[in-house]
Amino acid sequence: MSWRHLDGPIRTVTVKNTAVALSAHDVVQYDGSGTVEAISANQYPDGVMHDDGVAAGEDYLKMDLLIPYSIWEVTVSSQTLVRGVLVAMAGASNVDGGDGDDPVVGVVVNKDIASGDTTGQIMILPEGQTV
């Protein structure tokens, strides 16, 4: 499972992928050289790939920006997260409860996430907060 936009503002831009192929619904971040790459743990994501980028360095791929206050269905790590809990990136696509100074990606909304759940819903929060 990957990320999927559910509600709220959405904007799509074009990007270039790094030397690694990306798939639609992959969570990505800008790498500092004008291209995007898969997100890593404890980073703040910039967007979610709208298109597959099968070739290394492929350009003009569509990416959906993560706009604050939009609602996304996301993959979750195996833990219980209740509504209102702040979440951070746990890896390439999963969110979890974070670890002290991890950048906050969003807040759990609509329903609690049980330890066996594979997805949950979060509202994206502006960058700058920490768990």
Domain ranges across the chain: 10-65, 71-124
* DSSP conformational letter for 78: S
Q: Are 9 and 67 within 8 A, CB to CB?
A: yes
Using a pLDDT cut of 90, give the percent of the chain over it. Answer: 60
> According to the model, what pLDDT value does residue 131 have?
64
**Residue 29 CB burial class (10 angstroms; 0-12, 13-18, ≥19):** middle
CA angle 87, 93, 95 (to 5 degrees): 15
This prediction has a pTM of 0.89
Q: What is the pLDDT along the chain (131 residues), one digit of tens a residue?
A: 589 999 999 999 999 988 788 889 999 999 888 899 988 888 899 999 988 887 888 899 999 999 999 999 999 988 899 999 999 998 888 999 988 788 999 999 999 999 889 999 999 999 877 76
> According to the model, what pLDDT value does residue 20 have?
83
> According to the model, what pLDDT value does residue 77 have?
84
